[in-house]
Every structure is written in C-alpha cells, then in structure tokens.
C-alpha cells in the first residue's frame, strides 16, 4: 500500500471546504486508516463504529489487543452516540478543557465496538484542539478512534515525518499539518470513580484540573511501581529509543562522571539535556530538548529528541531529570517509561 501524504496548512481560513480534508475524510468513511495532527501528537484514525476499521489500527501499529483506544469527536452531539450516564463533573471538565488535551473515561454505549474499548464497559473520549483534526472529524461525520500514530513501543510522533518513519506503506494516508503543539499526549481522567482519577498525566496538569473541580485522585500505578494500572496502555514500555536510556537525578557534575566512566570503557555515550545545559557536557552526542525554565518547550521537543538519538551511533543515553510539577509530571512519566525505569541517583 502506498501511503498518500496530504499537505494542509492549518491556518487557512476555511478548512471545511479544503479538498485534501474532504478526500482524507472519504478514506476514513471507507474504513481506511488516516494519520492526522492533533494539538498533542499525531493520531492514527479509523471509524470508531467499525470493528473492521479499528482492527486495522492494531495491525498497523503492532499494538497489543488489550490496550483500548481514545475516540475523538468534533462536536458535543457526537458524544451522545458513544457514552451514557455522564456525571456532572464530566460536563464541568468538558466545558473548561474541550477542545483540548484532556481525555475523559466514561460509561460506553453498546454501539461502540468492543475492539475500541478492549472489552471494557467504559470508553475514553476527547475533543482535540487542532483545526485540522476538528475539520477532518467533521467532514467524515464519524467518531474517530485514534491512538498515537507510532509503531507500538516507539516515541509518539510530533511530525508527519515521524509518522512515515514508523508507518509508511502500512496506512492509507497522513495529513501533514506541521509540528504538533503540546508534544506529549492528553491527560486521561477516569470520571466513573466517585472522585475522578488521573490514569495518565499529560497536556492538562493536575493543578489545572483541581482548580476547576477540586481534589482528584491519581492512579496508584503512577506512584507505586508494583500496582497494576487502570489504564491498560500504562503498563507497557513505551517511547523507547533504540539505545538504553538512564534518567539521572543529581547535578551535571554527577551526570558527566557517569558519561566519563562509560566512555573510558569504550562506549559511545549520548546526553539528553536542555538549552541551558547544551554546553555543559562532553559526550559523543549531546541533544538539547527545549528550555528547562519553560517545561512546556521540553514537552514539545521530547519525542523528537528521543527519535533523533536513533539516527546516531550511541550505545547508551543519560538524561537529565525534570521537576515533578505542572507538565513536568507528564515529561518524567514518559522519560521513565522510555528508560524502562532505569535511574541513577546522586548520593
Ligand atoms: O493525546 C492523545 O491522547 C493522543 C492523540 C492522538 O489524541 N492519543 C493517544 O492514544 O495517546 P494512545 O492510544 O496512544 O493512548 C491511549 C491511552 C492508553 O494508555 C489507553 O490504555 C488509555 O488511553 N485508555 C483508552 N481507553 C481507556 C479506558 N476505557 N479506560 C482506561 N484507559 C483507557
Ligand atoms: Mg501511544
């Protein structure tokens, strides 16, 4: 299969009458897979009401079948086709954060394919804040199931090139709308528990949510290593570059020592840092990802940085760590998963 690339400028006035969007939407209607930009990462879309179409997502990604998908909608009317028994707190969250990087887990309607929800009686749903995503969903007239558009286990794609690197020839089309904004995936919050529970940290922070609805819980699996996550996807190693990655807690002097020891043993060593630390380290490859004083810029560049290491010949990567506050919680969650929880602490 040849993957068709549709170039679309997200800033054009009337995306709804854009012929590339109309054509990409017709691919979705006939059951094909179309990758498209959202404000977080690129998604790999399929008709959420068609089991056969959704099945293709799992095949193209090599995704474990027990990992459910997020359904993307463009209007609140679409919500009522897929969920029921919406609790008041969910309406409050939608009002404040949609369209945007917040995914709500709600009781599902019968019509949603069990292939989408991996047999759960809940479904994850979000309204993305990206003009191309919204126009494409509207043009298709369908709720669109879409995981991140990477091969399973790889860092999520923040450009159409990342999508093609992983899925060229495996999907019908990608809509290239340039680099995505937030850079890490949406926050997933379970609204079926008495107190809503964050299952995956992401683009909307816990602080943002608590300002609107008061105290929320965090899934135990996000804090305790042994607990089984309620969000099936959270149990898999993810986002991993090809070389082993180690997250370093401590000073730049300590990190440099680790680099020196490995290089003395003949290994090629990479360092993941920020603009502030770019000239601090001596290593075989130093990649800077955003600015530490503004963690949003780190989130935006993180996956591209992890993928860039794959184009180098490093044997091991040491990464700086980031404060567990605001979007830093999502950054550390993804970094530690990419590292398979390999960490070094300065004494
Ligand atoms: O930002 C995003 O959320 C991106 C863009 C494309 O929208 N999508 C994304 O999808 O990250 P994916 O499939 O890579 O991650 C979906 C996460 C997984 O951790 C999955 O286990 C969880 O959402 N999830 C989906 N349905 C669920 C459900 N019913 N209950 C609990 N967790 C669910
Ligand atoms: Mg993913």
* pLDDT per residue rounded down to tens, the chain (347 residues): 899 999 999 999 889 889 999 999 999 999 999 999 999 999 999 999 999 999 999 999 999 989 999 999 999 999 999 999 999 999 999 999 999 999 999 999 999 999 999 999 999 999 999 999 999 999 999 999 999 999 999 999 999 999 999 999 999 999 999 999 999 999 999 999 999 999 999 999 999 999 999 999 999 888 777 777 787 777 766 788 999 999 999 999 999 999 999 999 999 999 999 999 999 999 999 999 999 999 999 999 999 999 999 999 999 999 999 999 999 999 999 999 999 999 999 99
Query: Tokens in use for 282?
Result: 């001596």
Q: Whose CA is nearest to atom 10 of ligand 1?
A: 147
Q: Measured in Å, how far apart are the chain's first and last C-alpha atoms?
A: 54
Which tokens go with 340? 């398979």
* Alpha helices, H only, the chain: 19-29, 51-61, 76-82, 88-97, 114-117, 131-140, 160-167, 206-213, 252-264, 295-309, 328-338
Cα-based angle 132, 134, 139 (whole degrees, multiple of 5):
95
Q: What is the pTM of this model?
A: 0.96
φ/ψ (deg, to 5) at 292: -60, -35
> What's the token pair of residue 30?
């006939």
Whose C-alpha lies nearest to ligand 1, atom 7? Answer: 43
| Angle, helix 131-140 to helix 19-29, in steps of 10 degrees | 50
CA 291 to ligand 2 center in whole angstroms:
24
Question: What tokens appear for 209 in the block?
Answer: 């949510």
| 3-class secondary structure, 323 | coil
| Contacts of residue 311, Cβ cutoff 8 Å, sequence gap at least 6 | none
Distance (Å) from CA 33 to ligand 2 centroid: 16
Look up tokens 């494409």; give the residue: 136
Q: Output the furthest CA–CA distance in the chain (Å, rounded).
A: 62
Residue showing tokens 């089984």: 228
Query: In this structure, is the dihedral angle defined by the CA atoms of residues 225, 188, 128 and 294, taken in order, positive or negative?
Result: negative
* Closest C-alpha among 144, 163, 216 to residue 187: 216
Which protein residue has the closest C-alpha to ligand 1 atom 3? 186
**The ligand 1 atom nearest the CA atom of 146:** 6
């Amino acid at each position: 299969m040849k993957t068709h690339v549709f170039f679309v400028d997200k800033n054009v006035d009337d995306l709804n009458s854009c012929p590339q969007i109309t054509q990409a939407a017709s691919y979705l209607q006939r059951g094909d897979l179309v990758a498209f930009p959202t404000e977080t990462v690129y998604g790999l879309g399929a008709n959420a009401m068609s089991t056969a179409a959704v099945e293709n997502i799992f095949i193209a990604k090599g995704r474990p079948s027990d990992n459910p998908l997020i359904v993307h909608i463009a209007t609140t009317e679409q919500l009522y086709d897929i969920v029921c028994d919406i609790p008041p707190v969910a309406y409050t969250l939608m009002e404040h954060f949609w369209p945007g990087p917040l995914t709500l887990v709600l009781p599902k309607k019968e019509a949603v394919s069990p292939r989408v929800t991996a047999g759960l009686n809940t479904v994850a749903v979000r309204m993305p804040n990206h003009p191309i995503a919204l126009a494409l969903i509207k043009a298709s007239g369908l709720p669109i199931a879409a995981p991140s558009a990477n091969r399973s286990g790889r860092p999520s794609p923040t450009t159409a090139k990342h999508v093609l690197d992983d899925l060229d020839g495996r999907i019908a089309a990608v809509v290239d709308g340039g680099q995505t904004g937030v850079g890490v995936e949406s926050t997933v919050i379970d609204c079926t528990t008495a107190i809503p529970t964050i299952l995956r940290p992401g683009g909307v922070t816990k602080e943002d949510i608590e300002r609107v609805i008061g105290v929320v819980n965090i899934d135990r699996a996000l804090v305790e290593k042994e607990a089984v996550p309620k969000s099936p996807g959270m149990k898999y190693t993810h986002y991993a570059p090809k070389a082993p990655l180690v997250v370093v807690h401590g000073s730049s002097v300590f990190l440099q020592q680790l680099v020196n020891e490995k290089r003395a043993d003949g290994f090629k060593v990479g360092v993941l840092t920020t603009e502030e630390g770019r000239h601090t380290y001596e290593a075989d490859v130093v990649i800077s990802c955003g600015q530490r004083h503004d963690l949003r810029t780190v989130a935006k560049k993180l996956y591209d940085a992890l993928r860039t290491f794959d184009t180098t010949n490093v044997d091991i990567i040491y990464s700086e760590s980031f404060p567990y506050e605001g979007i830093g919680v999502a950054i550390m969650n993804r970094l530690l998963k990419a590292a398979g929880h390999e960490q070094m602490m300065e004494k």
